[in-house]
Amino acid sequence: MSVPHPTPSEALELTVNGDALTLPADLDVVGLLAHLDLPDSGVAVAIDGVVRPQSRWSEPIADGAVVDVLTAVQGG
């Protein structure tokens, strides 16, 4: 069984933590974190080198964006 791939008009090309990904268009940070199986707390997200505050996570991510997701690590 194959997984359908989004058509170009429905696709968003992103680089996330150095990996190229094709994701559904109109994706926001919350949707990206869900896709990556990451929590929506304890993380920081930078888009094109600028940290996006959690209050703006519902804004769409632009096609071609470079996204860095940083998670908090416990320990010393």
Distance CA 56, CA 76 (A): 31
**Residue whose tokens read 């519902």:** 58
Contact criterion met (CB below 8 Å) for 12 and 27 = yes
pTM of the predicted model, to two decimals?
0.81
pLDDT of residue 23: 94
pLDDT of residue 33: 96
Helices (H), 1-76: 29-35
pLDDT of residue 4: 56
Per-residue confidence of the chain (76 residues) as pLDDT tens digits?
555 555 556 899 999 999 999 999 989 999 999 999 998 889 999 999 999 999 999 999 999 999 999 987 766 5
pLDDT of residue 71: 86
pLDDT of residue 55: 96
